Structure 1
């Protein structure tokens, strides 16, 4: 019996099942012929071939009566299931074709602290699960150079001057404050003035040089008359913070990024209360680059996402009360 069933399934013509399904729904050979745009003879022949394959009568007709046999009911149930699965398959294939496929390469400055940024990636992946994402962390100066050379999809970087041919939007507007770490002599002192800081050595970002993306920090030190030297530096946010906590010197970090460190006692806030300077983190892309569908999808999605939120909201540690769905 098992061998016989295998033989039937191997040679079963699925078009005959579809014809049978229409016959059963229409309860008429002639109506089924009209529905299928074929002759009544063709429908009757298809029914006979299907009955021959199963070795059972599937439909009984006596004058005006038309009904399915027990075998016919089984075939109808199976045919309904099969064509329901085929319809779902067609829908899934259609959806799959609409999903953008590809790869994007985004260059980012170290440690972007933003719930809005995190929410974007969650939303983007949910909407475009077949787009492969590569995020590379590097100094802002390198990011700008590579985007100028059309070497990546886009970049997020500090940038003092936007080079020609680069399109841009301000992503984050960061205020830098002055801090020292828990092992520094100034840690815990609440009555400090700017004069108390002038002789202190500095921990700095390597981009903190005249003409570079964080040169306002250099200008601030020069204008205020600091006499200390830069004793430690890094291009990476985490390493600058590590050196500050270790007591190498005083230094600047984005105010919104260190709230947990202040609360947990790793860092101490120093004057001035208004902060040292403001630096913009830009979303950058080359206006003339040839882009894949995946890259175009990413650029459009990121620009639309950040424009949903005012600049101050983009710095929050928790997502503002705006739906990201």
Structure 2
């Protein structure tokens, strides 16, 4: 609650001959005016009686009358006409009440804002993430996190799953969202959802439009690789999927950018693996064709990972908690 309000911060003053219309409070020589007097007058005006105001303020009748008299003396103007049968605000009293009422609403809003803890958290949240990840879960987590902690600055770094795991393992810090074939014992791994993959070719490729294709035929085709699949570590899920099918015996192109892999596929350089959601629009518009081998789509699991050798920073922990909250409410969200 505001205790003291400088009169110089108010607009206008009590009307006198020559005053501009709407002027309210005059210059009282720079003296301070207690907000309590203004608040009491505001309640007197709302209750339209000293008795009602006294009950609402939990004060005695003489005390409320004295506060009204003090305010009138300081402002040097009559605010209320009253006798045993009548109660009415003067013109100046009505104008000052309007100002007091607005001030009261402002004070109430200040109280509400002081209870809002959304700005208490600050700092930077760095999140490493695989390229072109399409996820309602991640999008909703970002949206809600910013609503709750608007002072936290975000830094999203795009890396391969292998680079994310290496960085967090070496730094023993940070969080990342990546694809894994299984949980890793050296990391905290929170399973988020499963991402479906498919084998695709472009409109210029001989297999475009072919409904039935076998693995042997695909094994003979030039392969467009996401650069991590040339790492040779067998770690990346795309390596696992590619090697499990025996694809990529002849690599005709590769890139660290998934969008460039997509570009080469559309251009007819070979076949390759893409996330199904990434390829969806291109398939619908006839730029890519899905080469189906099984009834069930290929896939890999997406995890939120962090080092189990160190604690998360407060912003990181709140993000991890928010992910848990969303998955608890919407287990099927992906």
Match of 1:211 in 2: 234
Q: Tell me the residue number matched to 1:7.
A: 27
Structure 2 portions without partners, runs of 5+: 1-18
User: Residues 144-166 of structure 1: CA distance to partner in whole angstroms, max 9, x if unpaired?
Assistant: 123332442x2110224544452
Structure 1: gaps spanning 5 or more residues: 315-325
Match of 1:220 among 241, 244, 247: 244
Q: Deviations over 1:32-58 (max 9, x none)?
A: 499466894x65554343223322222
Identify which of 49, 52, 57 aligns with 1:27: 49
Aligned 1:145-184 pairs, distance under 5 A: 145-148=166-169, 149-152=171-174, 154-184=175-205
Q: Give the deviation of 1:306 after TM superposition.
A: 3.2
Q: Please tell me whether residue 303 in structure 1 is matched to residue 327 in structure 2.
A: no
Q: C-alpha distance in 2, partners of 1:105/1:297?
A: 13
SS in 2 for 1:174: strand
How far apart are the structure 2 equivalents of 1:22 and 1:188? 79
Q: Give the whole-Å Cα distance in 2 for the aligned partners of 1:238 and 1:31.
A: 70
Q: Is 1:131 matched with 2:155?
A: no
The answer to whether residue 266 in structure 2 is matched with residue 245 in structure 1 is yes
Deviation at 1:60, TM superposition (A): 4.5
Q: Partner of 1:259: helix, strand, or coil?
A: helix
C-alpha offsets along residues 128-182 of structure 1, whole Å, 9 cap, x if unaligned? 4443332211111121123332442x21102245444522222232343222112
How many Å apart are 1:6 and its aligned residue? 4.6
- Change beyond 3 A, Cα 1:5–1:117: closer
TM-score (norm 2): 0.76
Separation in 1, partners of 2:143, 2:118: 20
Within 2, Cα distance between the matches of 1:30 and 1:171?
Answer: 59
Give the match's secondary structure for 2:228: coil
Q: Which residue, out of 114, 128, 144, partners 1:93? A: 114
Mapped to 2, the partners of 1:50 and 1:227 lie a distance apart of: 88
Kindly indicate whether the alpha-carbon contact (under 8 Å) linking 2:197 and 2:274 is maintained by their aligned counterparts in 1: yes
User: Deviation at 1:275?
Assistant: 6.4
Deviation at 1:205, TM superposition (A): 1.9
* Stretch moving more, 229-238 or 135-144: 229-238
Could you list the per-position Cα deviations for residues 53-80 of structure 1 after superposition, in whole angstroms to 9, with x for gaps in the alignment? 3222224455x45634413333333323
Within 5 A, what are the aligned runs for 1:86-125? 86-95=107-116, 97-102=117-122, 103-125=124-146
Q: How far off its partner does 1:109 sit?
A: 0.4
Question: Which SS does the other structure have where 1:112 is aligned?
Answer: coil
1:76 aligns with 2:100: no
**Alpha-carbon spacing, 1:18–1:31, altered in 2? closer, same or farther (3 Å):** closer
Distance 1:47 1:227 in 2: 89
- Cα deviations by residue, 1:264-319 (Å, 9 ceiling, x for unpaired): 111122252346843212111234544444333221111222344455x62xxxxx
Q: Distance in 2 between matches of 1:190 and 1:94?
A: 62
